[in-house]
Amino acid sequence: MPGSTSPITQFYNCRLLRDHQLVADSLYIQDGKIIDPARMFWDERRTPDVRVDCKGGIISPGYIDLQINGAYGYDFSNNTDAIEEAVDNISKGLLLQGCTAYCPTTVSSRPEVYRKVLPHLGPRPGSVEAGAAVLGAHIEGPFISPQKKGAHELATFRTAKNGLADIDECYGLDNLRKYVAYVTMAPEVEGVLDTIPELIKATGIHVSSGHSNATTAAANQAYHNGANMITHLFNAMHAFHQRDPGLIGLLGARKSRPFYGIICDGIHVHPHSVMIAYYAHPNGACLVTDAMSAQCLPDGFYKLGEMDVDVHGGHVYIKDTDTIAGSTATLAECVRNFIKFTGASKVEALENATLHPAQMLGIEGQKGTLAFGADADILILDDDLFVQRVFIAGKEATSDNVKFNKKL
């Protein structure tokens, strides 16, 4: 059967992040996918149509951010009347940073907000024209603990004492099926623990434990009920205690363990804590930014959902409090910080922003990998892991062909 006649691009003079190591090899892409060159050479007798000299750089899959509340002046929970504008501009801005796919995140909100914004946060492919791919929304709350509310509005909090009916009333089950990648819930909130399996079965979404005061027993049960992630490890959760380590203790389980998001901005989590998590469960780490609308903007006052926040010097707090309310870090910065904090290899740091997030969502055959058949969302990095060039669906994204607005 004849193959595609579309142009083939070869990336050469590079090291590929493949099979948990950096290997000197070339990468070939066609029709927005990574291809096996054997068929091109031996079956089709073709040579590449375009050759890209990577100048000795590293080729990595594009970064995947599982938790980002906003950027460039836009907020997914606050800009409800301009939500499509927010998605469009954030997607394009993130793409130029090297983040080629993400989960737009909403903070705890009222049901009418979810019904308004979720249809705009569903999966959509990435491209030079559209920006980074949207993998579906991450809904953080409102089925979370009042004791670990963080920067969430207490008045929106709910319980699931009526099981799936309460989940449906809040989000709409059809919205979850169509538009959502995963939700963050606290296992100890009434009804949540028993509802997790039913929720997963009814909607196909993933569940993450977070903003929680759960005991180790409840955390373990949530994991075995299907909650395969911990939201921003160490933040807004039961502090580690030697006799009851809570959610954090899941990293010490003898058998299988959940993935965990971790914010490596140097503010949310002390480098020593990052090191502890890395040593406990290196294959579960998913770097996230938890960025809010001030990402890549000057210091000042911004919104996170309905809350006013004060941003200065990389620190983000609810106005007139000492409660952290997200970050302004980029995922590229978090990758470099992870190496600085832990001494991990480049491979490990890169996989924390590529392979592991894709595995958490079950899309590792398509995203977060340079395997044959995967999407050709790739980065060319220098040896210090600064992004040099970005490609999405096989096409290069630059400031000349990706235009977006910042809402100051």
Determine how many CB atoms are found less than 10 A away from the CB of residue 302: 25
C-alpha 229/C-alpha 231 separation (Å) is: 6
C-alpha 184/C-alpha 212 separation (Å) is: 10
Q: Residues 44, 82: contact at Cβ < 8 Å?
A: no
Pick the catalytic residue: 290, 299, 377, 383?
290
Structure tokens at 51: 């050759």
C-alpha 208/C-alpha 107 separation (Å) is: 14
Helices (H), ranges, 182-316: 192-203, 216-224, 271-280
In the DSSP assignment, the letter for residue 20 is: T
In the DSSP assignment, the letter for residue 131 is: B
C-alpha 392/C-alpha 75 separation (Å) is: 24
Enclosing H/E stretch for 75: strand 74-75
Bridging pattern class, strands 180-185 and 206-209: parallel
Q: Residues 249, 214: contact at Cβ < 8 Å?
A: no
Mention every residue, 6+ apart, whose C-beta is less than 8 A from residue 133.
Answer: 100, 101, 102, 123, 124, 125, 126, 367, 375, 377, 392
Active site residue 290: yes
Catalytic residues: 290
